[in-house]
Every structure is written in structure tokens, then in C-alpha cells.
Structure 1
Amino acid sequence: MNFKTSGIKKLPLRTAYAAALMLAAASGSVIAFASSAFAQTAPAQAQAAPVTLSSKAMIERSETGADGVQKTVLKDPSEVIVVPGDRVVFTLTYENRGSEPAVSFRATNPMPGPIQFISAAEEWAEMSVDGGVTWGRLEQLSVTDTPAAAGEGEAEGGGEGQQGQSPAAPITRSADAKDVTHVRWVFTDPIPAGAKGSISYRGVVK
């Protein structure tokens, strides 16, 4: 299931964020900001043990209660004005509605464009920083940056030896949260028939 963002792009920035979150939460699908999470079961189990997924996006805010104690609460996107810097909690709820255990189940969530990854609630969640090609714990991953050539962008003839200069050598560094492109959960244990649960990750509005 997909929803189109053509009607969102023309809205003011804050309204666009709120509208996208509301659509994701109301759709009942595993879509967040026009990006779809998808689930797969082993072919032999796909019909015998269908697993459904649904998603919900909530905005994290701090509030001071009547007792003066500050606490963190989750707000529906329709209740607040969503702005850059807001933290968002995406929860994916799964349920095996079949009569047999679901084996080799996995769920993959591409990071929504306006959201930067912060963390996943589950320690066994995997990340990718290259569009879903390579997976692992964030501390196990690396990215390669290609710096611009020295002198690039300077006025023509601005210095001797700058024209035709080769780009600087690529630099490999440890990946960090802003590099995450996908989050994946691979279930090592079968999901029993009738069982349900949830997985989640947190991000911040860019």
C-alpha cells in the first residue's frame, strides 16, 4: 500500500510533516513518510501462517504534570504541530493470524526521507547504510565519502595547477545514525499462531 505525496509537497513545511505522519498512522499499513516497510515469510509458510503488519507514528514531547514533574509523553501527529527537531516513535505491530507458526519472518523499513534515524528498540535489529545492500549493527558498518577535489568551485584561472586536478581520495569512516538508510528485524524464532507483538525505532524530523 502506498500513498502519494504530490498533494503534500505544496503545503507549508510544518503542515506537510504533520499530514504525512497522520496519513501513516491512519493508513493501518507499515508506511511512514511515503516509505513502505515490508514483511516476508518463508514460501512454505506464507499461506499457512500469514503475518500482518501495521504501523503507528507518534510524536515524543515533554510535559510538566500537575505535580510539577516533567515526563515524556507520546502525541498523535494530529494533536501537535510537527517541526524539525521533533522526535518520532514508529511502532510496527505484527500478528500471526494463521494456524501455523511463521518461520523466517523479517520486516524491513526504509528510512522516511524527512526522518533521521536515532535508534531501534530491539538490540537485534540490523541497519543498512547503503540502501539495503549490507546489513549489521551500526557499530559494524562503515561508509565511504568522496571529498571534492582541492580548489573545486574556485574561479577559473584562480591558481596555478588547479585545472584538471583529480578528486581527493575517498575516505572510509565508521557509520553513524545519520547514515542509516534502512532498519531490518530478522526473527530467529518462529512466531506462534495467534501471537502478536511489536517492534519500533525512533527518529528525528530533519
Structure 2
Amino acid sequence: MKNITKRVAFLLAFATVPLAAPVFAQGQSPVTLNGDVKAVETSMDAAGNPVTRLVEPDVIVPGDRLIFTTEYANTGDEAVENFVVTNAVPAAVRLAGDADPALTVSVDGGGTWGALSELTVSGENGATRAAGHADVTHVRWTLSSVAPGENGRVEYPAIIR
């Protein structure tokens, strides 16, 4: 169990480095990115009400819920248009079933993009089937404009396989 936790932690550390593909005149973007992953912890308060917190992942096991986030900030003097943030979904997790259905995802390593409900995959027997949450390999957001000084974050929920 300890080796699985270490392996997942290793994969998560590298999976939180987002890839950006902005169109910018000099090839340098003033938009900075910072990736992070948190575990979702639910407990009960003194009155018996559920309390949900995001915490640093410690010991995680299959079925645990994680939130992958990417914070962005435009440190430049001009707006950046159509800024793209792409995050690979680590093999140790699957996109959570309650993820926003409007997310733009890929199920083929970033070759094809769309809403999950629009994508298909080939099964082991070669037959095509509707793609599912476990098939998602990447999540992508296109920020129409990031104004000077603007910051924000994008996120997706995942479940440990």
C-alpha cells in the first residue's frame, strides 16, 4: 500500500504541471500558471453536519476524490486572447463522474477534443463505443481573454483508480 501511495504521489506531482499553448507575438506569454492537487476530505462537525475540506494528499487509496487546479495570472500590460490551458489526466486517476459536462476533454492523448458526450473510443475488440470518464486523458480550457492583472483558476475533479 505504501508503494502505491508513493507511486500515485509521484504521478500527481508531474501531472499538475499544465501545458499552455497561447498565441503571443514574441513567443513569451505574461500569463503564469501554477498547478496543484488537493484531496477532498469529508468529516462531521460537532452538530453532525458534513464538512468538506481540501487538504494536502497524504495517504490516498482507490476511490478517494482529488481536485486538480491550475491558477493563472496575467503579469503583463496587455490582455492575452484565447489563452489555452491543457492538463493531462494522470493514469492513476479518472475524471470524476460529476465533472462539468461542458469541460473540453480528449480521450486520445490530445489528438481530438470535445465534450465527453461527443467523443468515442475503440474497444479491445475494435468496436466503437461512447467515451466515458475513465477514458479521459486530458482536460483543456480556452480563456477568451485574460486582462492585465487578472487572475483566476480552472479545475477538474478526479477519482483515484
Shared fold per TM-score greater than 0.5? yes
Structure 1 residues 133 and 40: alpha-carbon distance in aligned structure 2, compared to 1, 3 A threshold? same
Which 5+ residue runs of structure 1 have no aligned equivalent? 1-10, 25-30, 148-169
Cα distance, 1:37 vs structure 2: 1.8
1:68 equivalenced with 2:48 (yes/no): yes
1:113 equivalenced with 2:91 (yes/no): yes
Task: Count matched residues.
Answer: 160
Letter in structure 2 aligned against 1:14: T
Q: 5, 19, 25: which one pairs with 1:14? A: 5
Partner Cα separation in structure 2 for residue 185 and residue 120 of structure 1: 17
Aligned to 2:154: 199
Q: Percent identity?
A: 36
Partner Cα separation in structure 2 for residue 73 and residue 42 of structure 1: 36
Normalised to the residue count of structure 1, the TM-score between the two structures is 0.70
- Choose between structure 1 and 2: higher strand proportion: 2
The answer to which of 89-98 and 112-121 deviates more is 112-121
Which 5+ residue runs of structure 2 have no aligned equivalent? none
Give 3-state SS (helix, strand or coil) of 2:63's partner. Answer: coil
Letter in structure 1 aligned against 2:81: V
Alignment RMSD: 2.1
Aligned to 2:24: 43
Cα distance, 1:18 vs structure 2: 4.1
Normalised to the residue count of structure 2, the TM-score between the two structures is 0.88
Give 3-state SS (helix, strand or coil) of 2:8's partner. Answer: helix
Letter in structure 1 aligned against 2:146: I
Q: 39, 50, 65: which one pairs with 1:87? A: 65
Aligned to 2:105: 127
Cα distance, 1:55 vs structure 2: 1.2
